[in-house]
Structure 1
Amino acid sequence: MKKEDFKHSVPVQMRFSDVDGFGHVNNGVYNDYYDIGRMYYMRDVLGWLPGDSQRDNQLVVVNTKTDFIGQILLGQSIEVLTRVVSLGNKSLKMIQWVIEQDAEEPLSVCESVMAGFQRSTGTSFVLPDEWRKAIEIYEG
């Protein structure tokens, strides 16, 4: 996969509390960055934010795998690139990169699976056609 394969990106503002005494971003914070990317992807592509208490049907993270490739240091300008790479019946798979702005190679890569979850019943559901169409149109 190449940087050009991603259509969605969001800059991330690093916080002082994200780094350890050596100025490295803590590996647990990478997941926060990926959450930011997922949140804005859903807003920009599906038209709603996850966690909205008014929405009964949500997408929730059910699996993640993160590879740490390079260091992220205090003061670097970073962004999260997000792409949906496959749609299942009740779930979708995303690939995300944390990348230094204007760079071509990722500092970290995350693969995640999100599933449809209905808050009122506590059960999964088949992804609606309108979500599928929006993702397919966006991703091409």
Structure 2
Amino acid sequence: MRFSDVDGFGHINNGVYNDYYDLGRMYYMRDVLGWLPGDPARDDQLVVVHTETDFFRQIFLGQSIYVLTSVVDLGNRSLKMHQWLIEEGTDQPLSVCKSVMSCFRRSTGTSFPLPDEWRKAINNFETPR
């Protein structure tokens, strides 16, 4: 959270929530798939093609929040993510984001089928043990 995230009403601007969700997606890909999005050495990427965000409560500067991220559906060429902004010490969402990410090959500018190794890594991470 940065000072510049705060708007004239003293709370975190609603547009900034999407920055927090982007960070959650980035760390999910790093932790689950083993790479960071936007790496110029990677031709195969995941890109956001759709988002929808619901806002439930205001967030204020200095508030301890977490971004929880989960893949809820794997398609042929895309996946669906659900994310929650949660205040530390609670399980009540401050905001919820649903997004779709598509497989995208930078060199050709086209989509491609979700690779089996990505599918397996996501399923292993998301499956309760």
TM-score interval, smaller chain: over 0.9
For 1:60 and 1:107, the matched residues in 2 are separated by 25
**Moved beyond 2 Å, runs of 4+:** none
2:23 matches 1:32: no
2:8 partner SS: coil
In structure 1, the partner of 2:106 is 119
Counterparts of 1:1-140 in structure 2, within 5 Å, are 14-140=1-127
Letter in 1 for 2:113: V
For 2:107 and 2:9, the matched residues in 1 are separated by 45
For 1:105 and 1:30, the matched residues in 2 are separated by 16
Letter in 1 for 2:79: L
Letter in 1 for 2:37: P
**How many percent identity over aligned positions?**
76
2:93 partner SS: coil
For 2:89 and 2:72, the matched residues in 1 are separated by 23
For 1:63 and 1:85, the matched residues in 2 are separated by 15
**Where do 5+ consecutive residues of structure 2 fail to align?**
none
1:107 partner SS: strand
Once the two structures are TM-superposed, the CA of residue 22 in structure 1 deviates from its matched residue by: 2.5
Q: TM-score, normalised by structure 2?
A: 0.97
Aligned length: 127
1:136 partner SS: helix
1:74 partner SS: coil
C-alpha RMSD over aligned residues:
0.5
**Where do 5+ consecutive residues of structure 1 fail to align?**
1-13
The CA deviation string for residues 59-83 of structure 1, in whole angstroms up to 9 with x for no partner, is: 0000000000000011100110000
